[in-house]
Amino acid sequence: MPTNNPSRIAEILARHQQAILEDWLLAQLAAFSARHNLISEADLRRQSADFIGIFGTACQAGTLTDIATPAWQPVRDFLASISRSRASQGFSPSETATFVFSLKQPLFAHIRQELAANAESLADEMWTATVLIDKLGLYTTELFQTAREEVIKRQQMEMLELSTPVVKLWDGILAVPLIGTLDSARTQVVMESLLQSIVDTGSNIAIVDITGVPTVDTLIAQNLLKTAAAARLMGAQCIICGIRPQIAQTMVHLGVAFGEVVTRATLADALAFAFREIGCTVSRQAPRN
Partner 1 sequence: MNPPRSETLPLRSDEDLVRVRQAVRAWMVEQNFNLVEQTKMVTAASELGRNALVYGGGGSARLESPVDGGHGGIRVTFEDHGPGIADIAQALSNGFSTGGGLGLGLGGAKRLVKDFEIFSEPGQGTRVIITIRK
Ligand X SMILES: Nc1ncnc2c1ncn2[C@@H]1O[C@H](COP(=O)(O)OP(=O)(O)OP(=O)(O)O)[C@@H](O)[C@H]1O
Number of residues that bind ligand X (CB under 6 A): 2
Rule CB under 8 A: say whether 221 interacts with partner 1: yes
Rule CB under 6 A: say whether 184 interacts with ligand X: no
Cα gap 271→280, rounded to integer Å: 11
Binds partner 1 (CB under 8 A): choice among 89, 214, 229, 235: 214
| Inter-axis angle of helices 9-31 and 104-115, nearest 10 | 140
DSSP string across 213-264:
-S---HHHHHHHHHHHHHHHHTT-EEEEE---HHHHHHHHHHT---TTSEEE
State the nearest-atom distance from the C-beta of 194 to ligand X, in Å: 21
Rule CB under 8 A: say whether 247 interacts with partner 1: yes
Rule CB under 8 A: say whether 222 interacts with partner 1: yes
Q: Which is nearer to partner 1, 229 or 254 (CB)?
A: 254
CA distances from 13 to 10, 109, 111, 222 (A): 5, 11, 9, 66
State the nearest-atom distance from the C-beta of 156 to partner 1, in Å: 11
Amino acid occupying residue 201? T
Contacted entry of partner 1, ligand X, none for residue 216, CB cut-off 5 to 8 Å set by kind: partner 1
CA angle 201, 202, 206 (to 5 degrees): 85
Number of residues that bind partner 1 (CB under 8 A): 21
Residues 94-123, one symbol each (x = binds partner 1 by CB under 8 A, - = not), give ------------------------------
Cα gap 17→281, rounded to integer Å: 80
Q: Per CB under 6 A, which of residues 45..64 are in contact with ligand X?
A: none
Q: List, in sequence order, every residue forming a beta bridge with 212; answer none if it has no partner.
A: 179
State the nearest-atom distance from the C-beta of 260 to partner 1, in Å: 15
Rule CB under 6 A: say whether 257 interacts with ligand X: no
Cα gap 229→171, rounded to integer Å: 22
Report long-range pairs for 180-188 (Cβ below 8 Å, ≥24 apart). 180/212, 180/213, 180/214, 181/213, 181/214, 181/215, 182/213, 182/220, 182/223, 184/219, 184/223, 185/160, 186/160, 187/220, 187/223, 187/227
Q: Which is nearer to partner 1, 19 or 257 (CB)?
A: 257
Contacted entry of partner 1, ligand X, none for residue 249, CB cut-off 5 to 8 Å set by kind: partner 1
Cα gap 276→176, rounded to integer Å: 19
Binds partner 1 (CB under 8 A): choice among 14, 40, 246, 268: 246
**Which residue of the chain is nearest ligand X when measured via CB?**
218
Binds ligand X (CB under 6 A): choice among 130, 218, 246, 249: 218
- Hey, is 199 helix, strand or coil? helix
Rule CB under 8 A: say whether 163 interacts with partner 1: no
Rule CB under 6 A: say whether 219 interacts with ligand X: yes
Rule CB under 8 A: say whether 245 interacts with partner 1: yes
Residues that bind ligand X (CB under 6 A): 218-219
Residues that bind partner 1 (CB under 8 A): 181, 183-185, 214-219, 221-222, 245-247, 249-250, 253-256
